[in-house]
Structure 1
Amino acid sequence: MSTPLTDIQIRDPFVLTLPDSHEYLLFGSTDKNIWSGPATGFDSYRSKDLVTWEGPSPAFRPSPTFWSREQYWAPEVHEYQGRYFMFATFIAPGHLRGTQILSSGQPEGPYQPWSDGPVTPRNWQCLDGTLHVDQEGMPWLVFCHEWKQVHDGAVMAQRLTSDLRSAEGAPVFLFNASEAPWARALDVPSVKDREFPVYVTDGPYLFRLTSGRLIMLWSSFGDDGYAMGIARSESGTVVGPWAQETEALWSANGGHGMIGRTLDHRLFLTLHQPNSTPNERAAFFPLDELEDTVVLSSPGTGAGATSATQRG
């Protein structure tokens, strides 16, 4: 049965385009309550046009011995060396939040654990790991060192072994959330008594432009709530240094996005909006590519990807 996006509750949406089968797979945080209670797993949805979707289908279900039982967040799926790898965030009592890598021979799964637990540092609170393969073919994990541990959330890069089984070397600091002119300190009662202002980092996603320049989407909070901005690598490599764009790409009540490509090779932005449970939904917006960034397409131009019509 076909389902419109308006009927799919999902956070942190990630679209995998499959040219060979002329379709798309949509992944995301799909439990009805991702904040508490037992987790079910991750689901996926399948579409030919980005408008109507078939599903849900189970992409990951934990075995009885899997270490994490709640708060399954932000699955991304990347093709790498002939297999498909899911990067997802997990936590458990006695274990800090971190990104584990799962794998499958098929894009839709089912996915099984690939790394031995999280590949982020075990004594750090981490989330939202994404895969970046540099121009020399080296795989990197780019992830967030969470504000709950460091106050001013950071984005970090960690080299991975070529088989994606484990981390290699020490994490590299890229930037803090407060470096972005559009980012604002978190203003909620739970952080009022903290000694330092709290800035959030969420959802990094790296994209190599046609010009060869490297950009990163990432999310935090701005003047109008949850938002998403762009950082640019001044060296063209993952280690940066990274410069922040002054204005958010998406400024109001939506974020944690990625850049997708339609079957006819046009770019679109994926994000969830609004940022409140259980109302969050995936939305797609056409993008225009410039030499050193991307911008939302003006009405009547761009990729023509399906979406809600409002803009940040």
Structure 2
Amino acid sequence: MFISVNVSSGEPESAFAGIAATYPSPVPETRPMRLPDMPLHDPFVVADGTTRTYCLYTSNVPAVSSVDGVGTMVYRSQDLRDWTRPVVVFLTEEQEGIWATEGGWAPEVHTWGGRYYLFTTLHNQDRELPVPPPGRWGTPLPLMNHMRGTVIAVSDSLLGPFTVLDAARPTPPPHLMTLDGTLYVDPSGQPWMVYAHEWLQTIDGTMEAVRPAPDLTRTVGDPLFLFKASDASWISERIPGGVPHQLPPYVTDGPQLYRAPEGSLIMLWSTYEKDVAGPDGTVGGGYVQTYAVSESGTLAGPWRQHRPLVRDDSGHGMLFHTFDGRLMMIVHRPFEDARGKLYEMEFQGHELRVLRQRTDLDGGG
């Protein structure tokens, strides 16, 4: 395929692999950082009202945090302009008996039951999974599958340290190759983990959900199918002329659930557009940020796909409110050597719209 295996999985496979955890104190630095100077991928912001501090979580970058190891670090700011140097809050190598130490992708922190829970995706290339047989959406490519999935870790502080709840396995079924799990709590108070099921197993990547137990230590029941990537018809509407219609695979990435003011349930998610002809006659394209709306207002859907919010190799976005009440979206761009980009947003009914990029905060580009 025109999209490489690593990029199409949604993450750079080897960015943080093979680094030993040493956990020294961060290098003292009083000069604030700005978003153009801050390496980050899969950004997630917690606006902590108690301290009026924005906590921006991302995968650990040892060159910035001064802490070796695969894990999670957090930048902090009170105005979204000036940020502290990051603090490491989670390291895989400190988790006794953990099933995987690679990855550390898509970290996000949620409050549940009075504690803080970190969701992050790990993988173990030494624990191979069989290539699935042909399924209802096509025949998977003959590429290696291995264990990949989201783990949950807990702490009493936004600054960690976080300790994994189950070191033996990911939260989604371990025979599924999944990533980017996020927390959604339905109107009855039931928590769900919503995650992306890799195109490597499904050829047409899907969004699915599984119910954790109330203490988030295990799951209850089978996964619930939500939608598949190709349901977004715009993915293939810009296919370059003169190329064969070799469209699969389709990628799902970065789900984030949000309840609109008028009650609609929306999901931000990312994928790759099919708009660039590859040298071998196949079709690829750039990373895009899009969203879907559940017509029933529940996870069960059906989910109506909307057009992209931001293109330009941007994605893995999430919504948060500033302390003065503005709705913001943060994405990373470009996919490689990514930086955070901020957009002011608004809802018009269940429609989510971009008002403007906050270049005064993110430096533009």
Shorter-chain TM-score above 0.5: yes
User: Which residue of structure 2 aligns with residue 261 of structure 1?
Assistant: 321
| Alpha-carbon contact 2:34-2:362 (below 8 Å) kept | no
- Measured after TM superposition, the shift of residue 239 of structure 1 is 1.6
- Measured after TM superposition, the shift of residue 182 of structure 1 is 2.6
**Equivalent residue for 2:354, pick from 292, 296, 304:** 296
**Equivalent residue for 2:172, pick from 100, 103, 120:** 120
| Alpha-carbon contact 1:132-1:206 (below 8 Å) kept | yes
Aligned to 2:201, what secondary structure does the other structure show? Answer: helix
| Alpha-carbon contact 1:270-1:283 (below 8 Å) kept | yes
Paired with 2:121 and 2:228, the residues of 1 have a C-alpha distance of 20
Paired with 2:42 and 2:121, the residues of 1 have a C-alpha distance of 11
Unaligned runs of 5+ in 1: 188-194
- Measured after TM superposition, the shift of residue 250 of structure 1 is 1.1
- Measured after TM superposition, the shift of residue 264 of structure 1 is 1.4
How many residues in Structure 1 have an aligned counterpart in Structure 2?
A: 292
Q: Flag the structure with higher strand content.
A: 1
- Measured after TM superposition, the shift of residue 184 of structure 1 is 4.4
Deviations 1:101-142 (A, max 9, x none): 111001121111023431111101000000000011000000
Q: TM-score, normalised by structure 1?
A: 0.88
When Rg is computed on C-alpha atoms for both structures, the one with the higher figure is 2
- Measured after TM superposition, the shift of residue 180 of structure 1 is 0.4
Superposition map of 1:137-286 within 5 A: 137-184=189-236, 197-222=248-273, 223=275, 225-245=286-306, 247-276=307-336, 279-286=337-344
- Measured after TM superposition, the shift of residue 294 of structure 1 is 1.4
Aligned to 2:221, what secondary structure does the other structure show? Answer: coil
- Measured after TM superposition, the shift of residue 83 of structure 1 is 0.5
Aligned to 2:184, what secondary structure does the other structure show? Answer: strand
**Equivalent residue for 2:104, pick from 63, 72, 78:** 72
**Seq. identity, %:** 38
- Measured after TM superposition, the shift of residue 251 of structure 1 is 1.6
Superposition map of 1:37-48 within 5 A: 39-48=69-78
User: Which residue of structure 2 aligns with residue 7 of structure 1?
Assistant: 37
| Alpha-carbon contact 2:199-2:249 (below 8 Å) kept | yes
- Measured after TM superposition, the shift of residue 196 of structure 1 is 7.2
Deviations 1:276-295 (A, max 9, x none): 1xx21111110012210211
Deviations 1:212-238 (A, max 9, x none): 110000000123510011100000011
Paired with 1:5 and 1:60, the residues of 2 have a C-alpha distance of 22
Paired with 1:304 and 1:287, the residues of 2 have a C-alpha distance of 14
| Alpha-carbon contact 1:284-1:308 (below 8 Å) kept | no
Paired with 2:192 and 2:166, the residues of 1 have a C-alpha distance of 14
Paired with 1:298 and 1:170, the residues of 2 have a C-alpha distance of 41
Paired with 1:31 and 1:262, the residues of 2 have a C-alpha distance of 26
User: Which residue of structure 1 aligns with residue 90 of structure 2?
Assistant: 60
Paired with 2:236 and 2:89, the residues of 1 have a C-alpha distance of 35
Shift in alpha-carbon separation, 1:233–1:164, aligned structure 2, 3 A: same
- Measured after TM superposition, the shift of residue 148 of structure 1 is 1.1
| Alpha-carbon contact 2:259-2:266 (below 8 Å) kept | yes
Give yes or no for the alignment of 1:101 onto 2:152: yes
Aligned amino acid, residue 306 of structure 1: L
- Measured after TM superposition, the shift of residue 8 of structure 1 is 1.1
| Alpha-carbon contact 2:196-2:252 (below 8 Å) kept | yes
User: Which residue of structure 2 aligns with residue 191 of structure 1?
Assistant: none
Paired with 2:102 and 2:114, the residues of 1 have a C-alpha distance of 30
| Alpha-carbon contact 1:115-1:164 (below 8 Å) kept | no
Deviations 1:120-169 (A, max 9, x none): 11101000000000011000000011011111100001111111111111
Aligned amino acid, residue 223 of structure 2: P
- Measured after TM superposition, the shift of residue 183 of structure 1 is 2.2
Aligned to 1:149, what secondary structure does the other structure show? Answer: helix
| Alpha-carbon contact 1:184-1:199 (below 8 Å) kept | no
Aligned to 1:198, what secondary structure does the other structure show? Answer: coil
Q: TM-score, normalised by structure 2?
A: 0.76
Unaligned runs of 5+ in 2: 1-29, 128-145, 240-245, 276-284
